[in-house]
Structure 1
């Protein structure tokens, strides 16, 4: 198997080089990046490798130039689109699953599923885990982190290597409602759910109680049972009540596989752990996210608090979109949400993703979110519905616009993003609209 052989060769070279060089880990700040960093940090600590770690939002020329040229550099969940920046570095390893945009350099070893096309869909945490396992079989206990990273990055759990990871993690997979956390009281899960936005329910405790009363679900011993403990009849009634409020839902959107992993000596919903990690890091507390991944119970408590605040802010952001507060530009099969300073730049991607999966727009519709970040603008692009609706590819669309602007960009077919100068705000919108209008004519 090509990927396994590539990882085996990378580990062989890494072990030899790390004997005489300090290792610098650079990882992305989302769930996939944080879980990748946790896996690699634990594996290198066990191997007694001298290393340091930095968590970053993105790569730019100035940051890369600041890296020690004599160190062994390993990029996690980023780097595939920035290899042209690494020529001055002695030895570079890239563990990533994003699009490869530049030519290979002789000093760089890339481990990326794009090298083998679509035959295996892995996230960066999955690759990092397989690397760690090749380094030492004892690292099999880190498999749960790879599952959390996979769930957090919306990568479909398919293929032999993903199945290997699921088996190593001893994951419990159950069919159920895709509202999380599935292990927490149902009323709270519904009220604070950001995975499925239900008008009048999400963010509304009274609306939740009315929904549960309608579904015939009552408290037991003073509290509602968790979603996982609902029987078949209760689950069916709850689904019916949700459908009555959102007739545009289909079964595939709200019913699917729930992944339960062993964490803190009990089964936890992988989606909830992913959300805790993501929220804490995006709120500026990446060290809390990392400590949580490494089973620090105090970090878990702190992450719960951060996540509660994050979810409330996210619900407010979604409501601001629904109420029309956010500037909205709509065209044929696209919508541009220019939030300016009304939604944080670290949240605009999540908002765009939720809207893309909301069924409010037909499959293939392009969802573009924009948010200010100092003198820059964060842009997040998603394709509504499936992972590649109507053949559109978000990374190709954003790349075609960024040819005319300065800034970093990257992503996948279903989700891509870029950072542009604030002064290019109107130019970006006009270039994108022009590109989409040409696309319509070609259709």
Structure 2
């Protein structure tokens, strides 16, 4: 049974068509949502007896779509992208290059295709209510026969969390239906706990030192301060010489730390809204050992982001499919490298600053920040010195000698005022000979080298119109 009734007909139509084909080429995006989308679809197709070959793409543009057509598969399943490139895909379909089946959650282009599963087509927000992995989960539920695919809800939740779909720390809308199925199937546990990244794996002092949302004065960004704070609460920091982690604490110890953090925040003037975010909804997986990245949806999604963004989508996919040996070891090494690169990228932004206009802010990292992670760095930059949360931020990075990667990030408050980065980035990129799209709160594009200034000019015009 498809758990989101509004999308049931679309899911069944796509599933019925996939059952009837001899084989399928599955093309997917490379971020955490894209990897989990591919893993869900691949497992569901395997269980349904449909031979499948996978290919991953960093960005789906005309050249990449042509390369997919050259694979000479009669059927191509696009997951976590394809809706925004529907015009080009439809042209290939009209020529008989392949039959497309699109399972996505990004803003659709103004074109038609017969098999298209996208929440936005039925009035469901694809930025906060259903991720690409969530849409693939609906497809999997429509595909199932003898096998109950509810176990795949775990990956759908990882994809949604990795796609930053949690609203005030909680998955909402159609995502809630998937969470409910995961809880019912006993592969997911939903709880309330400290809402900081790293509760499974980070040593306690590091957990608090790296906490910046909310930022607790005297603790955040201060290693000795975080240690002194924990000692003042009476929390033993080590057990048999090993650093304790949040998951190692008793419930009483956790409550003591949270209460002390809240009191420290009140005493140091942290806003009530910021302090409210200190505790939130958590999604963990009971069948996974405590203290590992795979136990928690947030840490699992970060691990996946650290694979395909460094040309190792095969590693992330293998982890999603259950490899707990070589693939997981490799993913952990990639994660350590990913964290270093993000830290260095954020430090680069702090050192060089951002250029500010009345309605937007931006930075051009050139080759200093990898184009596959510059959007993550842009999102992390919100709240740092000199970066204003009242303006969307645009990041540029060199993609090739001729192309520039554009990543734009906003905030929930700006979206509430009318910001739609998908529309703004799409319009501005096409105005300079590129193309792009995405969500209202996050979007990306590829534009010709040297067109950054013209892009920003058009982008700001769009933002001004939206926020007016």
Q: TM-score category by the smaller chain?
A: 0.7 to 0.9
In terms of mean alpha carbon deviation, does 338-347 or 34-43 score higher? 338-347
- 1:341 and 2:351 matched: no
Q: How has the CA–CA distance of structure 1 residues 77 and 160 changed in structure 2, closer, same or farther, with 3 Å as cutoff?
A: closer
Give the Cα separation in 1 of the matches to 2:453 and 2:387. 24
Q: How has the CA–CA distance of structure 1 residues 313 and 392 changed in structure 2, closer, same or farther, with 3 Å as cutoff?
A: same
8 Å CA contact 1:317, 1:343 repeated in 2: yes
The equivalent position to 2:117 in structure 1, one of 111, 116, 120, is 111
Query: Which residue matches 1:234?
Result: 257
8 Å CA contact 2:157, 2:178 repeated in 1: no
- 1:380-422 deviation per Cα after TM superposition (whole angstroms, max 9, x unaligned): 1111343714221111221231231122301111111111111
In structure 2, the gaps of 5 or more residues are: none
8 Å CA contact 1:147, 1:166 repeated in 2: no
The equivalent position to 1:365 in structure 2, one of 366, 391, 402, is 391
In structure 1, the gaps of 5 or more residues are: none
The offset of 1:366, in angstroms, is: 1.0
Q: How has the CA–CA distance of structure 1 residues 62 and 399 changed in structure 2, closer, same or farther, with 3 Å as cutoff?
A: closer
CA RMSD of aligned residues (A): 2.9
8 Å CA contact 1:195, 1:354 repeated in 2: no
Give the Cα separation in 1 of the matches to 2:200 and 2:265. 19
- 1:1-57 deviation per Cα after TM superposition (whole angstroms, max 9, x unaligned): 2301221222122212x2xx3200000000011001111112222233211000111
Residues 45-64 of structure 1 correspond to what in structure 2 (within 5 A)?
A: 45-64=46-65
Residues 416-435 of structure 1 correspond to what in structure 2 (within 5 A)?
A: 416-435=443-462
TM-score (norm 1): 0.88
8 Å CA contact 2:409, 2:442 repeated in 1: yes
8 Å CA contact 2:10, 2:115 repeated in 1: no
- 1:261 and 2:289 matched: no
The equivalent position to 1:321 in structure 2, one of 333, 338, 349, is 349
8 Å CA contact 1:377, 1:422 repeated in 2: yes
Query: Which residue matches 1:26?
Result: 27
The alignment of Structure 1 onto Structure 2 pairs a total of residues equal to 434
- 1:312 and 2:329 matched: no
Query: Which residue matches 1:182?
Result: 199
Query: Which residue matches 1:173?
Result: 190
The offset of 1:264, in angstroms, is: 4.1
8 Å CA contact 2:356, 2:362 repeated in 1: yes
Give the Cα separation in 1 of the matches to 2:415 and 2:385. 15
The offset of 1:119, in angstroms, is: 6.8
Give the Cα separation in 2 of the matches to 1:363 and 1:195. 13
> Secondary structure of the equivalent of 2:451?
helix
8 Å CA contact 2:392, 2:411 repeated in 1: yes
Query: Which residue matches 1:97?
Result: 105
Give the Cα separation in 2 of the matches to 1:164 and 1:195. 27
8 Å CA contact 2:34, 2:80 repeated in 1: yes
Q: How has the CA–CA distance of structure 1 residues 428 and 245 changed in structure 2, closer, same or farther, with 3 Å as cutoff?
A: farther
In terms of mean alpha carbon deviation, does 133-142 or 25-34 score higher? 133-142
Residues 2-17 of structure 1 correspond to what in structure 2 (within 5 A)?
A: 2-16=6-20
- 1:204-238 deviation per Cα after TM superposition (whole angstroms, max 9, x unaligned): 65454345345543314234433243421222223
Give the Cα separation in 2 of the matches to 1:102 and 1:84. 7
- 1:81 and 2:100 matched: no
Query: Which residue matches 2:156?
Result: 146
Residues 396-415 of structure 1 correspond to what in structure 2 (within 5 A)?
A: 396-415=423-442
Give the Cα separation in 2 of the matches to 1:194 and 1:276. 20
> Secondary structure of the equivalent of 1:370?
strand
The offset of 1:103, in angstroms, is: 1.0
Give the Cα separation in 2 of the matches to 1:213 and 1:27. 47
The offset of 1:439, in angstroms, is: 4.0
Give the Cα separation in 2 of the matches to 1:198 and 1:288. 36
The equivalent position to 2:274 in structure 1, one of 206, 231, 250, is 250
> Secondary structure of the equivalent of 2:431?
coil
- 1:329-379 deviation per Cα after TM superposition (whole angstroms, max 9, x unaligned): 112242112222221111111112223477976654211111112222111
